[in-house]
Amino acid sequence: MGILNKILRKNKKPTASVFVDFEHWCYALNRQFRMKPDIDAFYNDISERFKIKNMYFFGDFTEPTLNSYSNDIRRITKGLQSTHNPSNHLKKDYTDFIMLDYIYQDLFENPDTDVYVIFSGDGHFSSVCTYLTKNKHKKLVIYGVTKATSMDLQKLADECILLPDEKAEQRKYYKMIIENLALLDSKDKVSYPTFLGTVEHVARKNNVSEDKIRTALQELLESKVMDQKLVRTTKKKQIKILVVNWKEAEKAGLYSKK
């Protein structure tokens, strides 16, 4: 029986409390990469690895940008904490203060929690992270946005995950390409989107390197989301153009009919 208990304990997921500075995630991701938070992917990653005891999202949800994610957050947790401050004082750090208070309260109320997951790039959290790891001997997982996360936080963490990861960033380029071709497809004017022409146009429009768009487009062709076919132009010239398999694009979550 003792051996069985040891095996069960070994296979048991560690418990975790999760604290998300949603202002950092949302605004920094848009500023650095012009991307939106993938809340479902984040939740799936955390819940697959840990047994979540508490999960909180902090931010001024009176702001339209943050408020647009409220329903997505409430779908995975009841812990949406609006940090709107009607006062003109301390507005900049108000979310940090409330989030810190919740972390310390959780430490007091749930001393047996194994892991603390903190999603923030702010160096203000260095002190509480030190306290979690050095004084309370908790495992610390830091999530943050690439190029917007304090190096102090990264060094304190047992594990640091910076977003977007390579997969998420690549999907962004896929969507740029599909959206461009969907726009061409919706116009009455006949168009002939070639491989090179599409790479140049999408890269220029989105201020992204041509190499990244070229790689993404090649992967879309290999995955059969897109294909190429020979057509004859109005000038009776034969060229190879790009064609989207819209059903496959929709299945991959890269396109949706409006």
Q: Is the pLDDT of residue 43 over 90?
A: yes
CATH topology of domain 168-251: Arc Repressor Mutant, subunit A (1.10.10)
Sorting pLDDT into bands at 50, 70 and 90, what band is 8? very low
The answer to whether the CB of 155 falls within 8 A of the CB of 125 is: no
Mean pLDDT over 35-64 rounds to 94
Please give the model's pTM, rounded to 2 decimal places: 0.76
Please tell me the predicted confidence (pLDDT) of residue 128.
97
- At 148-176, the pLDDT tens digits run 999 999 999 999 999 998 888 898 899 99
Please tell me the predicted confidence (pLDDT) of residue 1.
47
The residues with which 227 forms a beta bridge, in sequence order, are 243
> Percentage of the chain with pLDDT > 90?
72
- Assigned superfamily of 13-164: 5'-nuclease (3.40.50.1010)
Please tell me the predicted confidence (pLDDT) of residue 33.
85
Residue 57 token pair: 């999202």
Sorting pLDDT into bands at 50, 70 and 90, what band is 89? low
Helix, strand or coil for residue 57? strand
Please indicate whether the domains covering 13-164 and 168-251 agree at the CATH topology level: no
Please tell me the predicted confidence (pLDDT) of residue 258.
60
Please tell me the predicted confidence (pLDDT) of residue 10.
54
Domain ranges (residues) in the chain: 13-164, 168-251
**Interior CA angle at 158 toward 157 and 164, to 5°?**
65
Q: Output DSSP code: residue 13.
A: P
